[in-house]
Amino acid sequence: MFDGASEVGEYEQSHVGLAATSALPPWREIDRQLRRLAKRRGELDALELVWLARAEQAELHHHLGHATMLEYVERVLGYGPKVGKERLRVARALLDLPAMATALGDGTLVYSAVRELSRVATPATENEWLDAARGKCLREIEELVAGRRPGKRPTDPPDPNLAPRPITLELTPPTLALFRDACRRLEDERGHRLTDDEVIAAMCATIVGPTPRGPDDGRGDGCGDGRAPYQIALTVCERCDRASHDASGRAIDVPPSTLAQARCNAQHLGRLDAAEPARAVQDVPPAVQRLVHRRDRGRCTVPGCRSTRWLQLHHVLAQALGGTHDPSNLCCLCFAHHQSLHQGKLSITGTAPNALVFDRDPDDRESPGLLGDDADEDVLALAQQALAQQALVQLDGRGSS
């Protein structure tokens, strides 16, 4: 079927030139070779899926020191997490779909077609789906499958509410880190892996669900209970003060603005390599945090903002510049406005709660809440020294509504 030695020879021959290897016109030989390779790829895909199913049944990953089968697939077979999860799903499905596995192995169907058909086919409907897919390209098969649950037949009318609508998201690294951690927390709560649809639905439900949380309900939505219900670790290098966000096992670099946003109200855990864990210390005492939350009526203080969810505390005068945790130096901001402030798109000066000045165009002004390029060198040095002493920062990663 397939061996490495012959493949090396074929690869070398492919660079020799078509005239030296075939009497056919060049375009016909190219087409013949591509079709042959496509059939061979189907054979290899079918074999790989068989062995993946056996590997999962035998818990191969445990014998080789991997935490999960997905980790084994990523490291050994080179697939990314999403592709790896799909390969394992299809391998499990084909255990009950022998005709479909045969169609993949003999080249009747390509893997991408089998991937889509295995979402809806069952042993009772397998042959009907194979007949319906014959002669169709991937896009046509996707349309055929869309809107149908497992067990439905190709002739059954589709349910428009089941047809997925693809979306594309372009996220910055800090937002990607938040998203990955949110997915992990949701999966931990429900005890199983979630589809993209389930993840987005759960996230949206917290914003537009039937039981919105107010500032006084005591369930920790926002900063009213004095502690963060959702925490994200930011690791800070003591030498260069670069920060990274630990998101579901990956370290994702975050910009200085995200680190500054975290340090407005962080929980300091000390060094991770210490022999004994240090006692966690929170910047703003919970009692002060509750007071400020109630004083600001549980909403973002930026004029015109109606957000009452996912609030964070902000120091009007930065701690690195001598700002204290006094309530007159603190105000509630939604995640989006807090992020805008530390990105330099918004500035806040004055004293809370009744003498705050908001500037949405601070480019030409110096804000005491930000470390600008024109700040005094001694102040900058003091701020840098204070920031570099923290090895790990935890913040509540909450977004605005």
pLDDT in tens, 287-296: 998 999 999 9
Q: What CATH class is the domain 4-145?
A: mainly alpha
pLDDT digits (tens, 9 = 90+) for 3-15: 555 554 565 555 5
Residue 103: pLDDT band (50, 70, 90) is very high
Q: Mean of the pLDDT values across residues 32-45?
A: 91
C-alpha distance across the termini of the chain, in Å: 57
Number of neighbours of residue 297 by Cβ within 10 angstroms:
12
The Cα–Cα gap between 289 and 227 comes to 8
Across the chain, mean pLDDT equals 76
Residue 57: pLDDT band (50, 70, 90) is very high
Residue 104: closest CA among 52, 34, 46 = 46
- What is the token pair recorded at 228? 């963060």
Output the pTM of the full model: 0.51
Burial class (CB in 10 A: 0-12, 13-18, 19+), 234: buried
The Cα–Cα gap between 87 and 80 comes to 10
- What is the token pair recorded at 296? 């600001």
Q: Which amino acid is at 42?
A: G
The Cα–Cα gap between 30 and 39 comes to 14
- What is the token pair recorded at 118? 């295995």
Radius of gyration of the chain (CA): 28
Q: DSSP states of 82-141 as a string?
A: HHHHHHHHHHHHHTT-HHHHHHHHTTSS-HHHHHHHTTT--TTTHHHHHHHHTT--HHHH
b vs e for 258-277, b when ≥16 Cβ sit within 10 Å of the residue's Cβ? bbbbbbbbbbbbeeeeeeee
The Cα–Cα gap between 125 and 338 comes to 54
pLDDT digits (tens, 9 = 90+) for 263-279: 777 777 766 667 777 77
Question: What is the DSSP-derived secondary structure letter of residue 74?
Answer: I
Residue 150: pLDDT band (50, 70, 90) is very high
**What percent helix, strand, coil does the chain show, rounded to 5?**
45, 10, 45
Domains of the chain, residue spans: 4-145, 173-208, 231-396
The Cα–Cα gap between 189 and 186 comes to 5
- What is the token pair recorded at 338? 């807090």
